[in-house]
Amino acid sequence: MSLKEQVTEDMKTAMRAKDSERLGTIRLLLAAVKQKEVDERIVVDDVTLVGIVDKLIKQRKDAISQFSAAGRQDLADKESAEVKVLEAYLPQRLSAEEIQAAVAAIVSELGAKGPGDMGKVMGAVKTQLAGKADMGLVSAAVKAALA
């Protein structure tokens, strides 16, 4: 079963269970998927869906920090609940040590020698670790490896 089919099945389950919070989040995800399909005239595969989920989680985390700074804990809690639902659709994430090892291997493979090579290294890292790692951690690991 593809990830998109799994999301659709989870939506049906949430409808039957009358779980409105989960249902709203899943509908939001499916709307983002449909938008991507319409905009780019493609059929979303699992890798693209993971990218969409990553983007939605990043948006939610940004909103959480903004709501917390504004003293709106109720809205921050709502966004946190959405993040938990969305994280269920992500594959197992790599640990910080695994990210550093992968980045070190790519840096040595490409022969990168300094901060000027960051773009080249990030391009290679993104293709290998897309969906498997938090890109914020990956970027920090690349900076450290090239420093």
What is the structure's pLDDT at 128? 82
Total tally of structural domains belonging to the chain: 2
User: Which range of residues forms the domain containing residue 131?
Assistant: 96-146
Q: Domain check: are 24 and 77 in the same one?
A: yes
Q: Give tens-digit pLDDT for 95-111.
A: 888 888 888 888 888 87
As given in the structure block, the two tokens for residue 139 are 């970027």
Q: What's 80's domain CATH number?
A: 1.10.1510.10
**CATH of residue 108:** 1.10.10.410
Do 44 and 114 lie in one domain? The reply is no
pLDDT, position 46: 87
Quick one: 80 and 107 in the same domain?
no
Question: Looking at the structure, do residues 140 and 75 belong to the same domain, yes or no?
Answer: no
80 plus 109 within the same structural domain:
no
Whole-number Å distance between alpha carbons of 67 and 71: 6
What is the block-wise mean pLDDT of the chain (147 residues), using blocks of 10 residues? 92 96 96 96 90 92 95 95 93 84 85 79 82 80 83
Residue 77: predicted pLDDT: 95
Question: Are residues 100 and 80 part of one domain?
Answer: no
Q: What is the pLDDT of residue 66?
A: 96
Q: In whole angstroms, what is the distance from residue 101 CA to residue 145 CA?
A: 10
**What is the identity of the amino acid at 14?**
A
- 7 and 69 share a domain? yes
Decide: 25 and 7 in contact? Cβ < 8 Å.
no
